[in-house]
């Protein structure tokens, strides 16, 4: 990386140095995006964050991208007449970056099958529970409601079903007697910020091999 380069900013050299090209999709506060950016700036991931794509104008993830010099594309869901039209524009914006890896970091929409198929084996998500338990929205609330004693987070490849793709990394946290949704979410988020950059790092080192439902870490 060139001296003095702002972390994450794409330059011509990034097309030639063998680094993986990563794009991040986010809709909200972007704390996982930040954890990944921090890992990039420490030099611990052999990759470059070439773009943030967001469906929510003004979300804090965009601010984080700007602060780190990462280019941003906003594909505002509300500006399109249909989900099909939105997804077409989103797919175009994604393909334009020629990414090696697409990282969903709090992207709050279900990706259509065209996009999922276009990035098969190159699309990762993080979920705030131990999949296959508690998929879907408000996982931490579901966990508290069910009364389980252990939860955690899961990084997985994305397939056509919701929260169902091959699991890359998981981390457990205890569910404590006095936990509410916020306390548990905070404990899980702390671990998300560790395992998501780790999964991206493993991908960038070509150390993730998908064999059926199993992801082998080489
Ligand atoms: C995280 O809890 C993640 O597991 C889920 O959405 C949340 C995003 O948080 N997919 P942030 O935007 O990364 O702070």
Please enumerate, as own/partner, the contacts of 186-189 that have beta carbons within 8 Å and a separation of 24 or more: 188/128, 188/129, 188/140, 188/151, 188/152, 188/153, 189/31, 189/128
Last residue in a domain, options 91, 119, 147: 119
> In this predicted structure, what is the pLDDT of residue 44?
87
The answer to whether the Cα torsion of 68, 69, 70, 73 is positive or negative is positive
> Does one domain contain both 115 and 130?
no
Total of domains in the chain: 2
> Does one domain contain both 109 and 154?
no
CATH at residue 146: 3.40.50.170
> Does one domain contain both 77 and 177?
no
DSSP summary character for residue 78: G
Does the pTM surpass 0.85? The reply is yes
> Does one domain contain both 70 and 152?
no
What is the CB < 6 Å shell around ligand 1?
26, 28-32, 105-106, 126-128, 189, 192
* Helix residue ranges per DSSP H, 42-112: 60-68, 83-96
> In this predicted structure, what is the pLDDT of residue 15?
55
- From residue 46, alpha-carbon distances to 8, 20, 78, 83 in Å are 11, 7, 35, 35
**Minimal CA–CA distance to 49: which of 38, 60, 57, 59?**
38
> In this predicted structure, what is the pLDDT of residue 18?
83
Last residue in a domain, options 79, 100, 119: 119
| Lookup: tokens for 43 | 């030099």
Count of alpha carbons within 13 angstroms of residue 38, beta-carbon side: 11
From 52, 128, 134, 165, the mutation candidate for ligand 1 (largest count of ligand atoms within 8 A of CB) is: 128
Q: Whose CA is nearest to atom 8 of ligand 1?
A: 106
> In this predicted structure, what is the pLDDT of residue 1?
37
- Predicted confidence pLDDT, tens digits, the chain (218 residues): 343 344 444 455 555 578 999 999 999 999 999 999 999 999 889 999 999 999 999 999 999 999 999 999 999 999 999 999 999 999 999 999 999 999 999 999 999 999 999 999 999 999 999 999 999 999 999 999 999 999 999 999 999 999 999 999 999 999 999 999 999 999 999 999 999 999 999 999 999 999 999 999 99
> In this predicted structure, what is the pLDDT of residue 11?
55
Name the 3-class secondary structure at 17: coil
- From residue 171, alpha-carbon distances to 69, 127, 128 in Å are 31, 11, 10
**Minimal CA–CA distance to 113: which of 81, 158, 168, 54?**
158
Known catalytic membership, residue 156: no
From 29, 32, 125, 142, the mutation candidate for ligand 1 (largest count of ligand atoms within 8 A of CB) is: 32
> Does one domain contain both 188 and 98?
no
């Amino acid at each position: 990386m060139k001296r003095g380069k702002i972390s994450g900013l794409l330059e011509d050299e990034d097309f030639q140095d063998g680094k993986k090209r990563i794009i991040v999709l986010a809709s909200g506060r972007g704390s996982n995006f930040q954890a990944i950016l921090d890992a990039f700036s420490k030099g611990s991931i052999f990759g470059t964050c070439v773009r943030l794509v967001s469906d929510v104008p003004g979300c804090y993830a965009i601010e984080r991208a700007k602060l780190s010099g990462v280019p941003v594309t906003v594909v505002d869901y509300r500006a399109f007449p249909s989900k099909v039209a939105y997804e077409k524009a989103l797919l175009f914006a994604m393909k334009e970056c020629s990414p090696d890896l697409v990282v969903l970091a709090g992207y709050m929409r279900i990706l259509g099958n065209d996009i999922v198929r276009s990035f098969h084996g190159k699309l990762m998500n993080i979920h705030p529970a131990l999949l296959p338990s508690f998929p879907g929205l408000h996982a931490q609330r579901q966990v508290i409601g069910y009364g389980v004693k252990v939860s955690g987070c899961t990084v997985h490849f994305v397939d056509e079903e919701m929260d169902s793709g091959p699991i890359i990394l998981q981390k457990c946290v205890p569910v404590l007697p006095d936990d509410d949704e916020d306390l548990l979410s905070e404990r899980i988020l702390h671990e998300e910020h560790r395992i998501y950059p780790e999964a991206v790092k493993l991908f960038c080192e070509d150390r993730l091999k998908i064999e059926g439902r199993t992801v082998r870490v080489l």
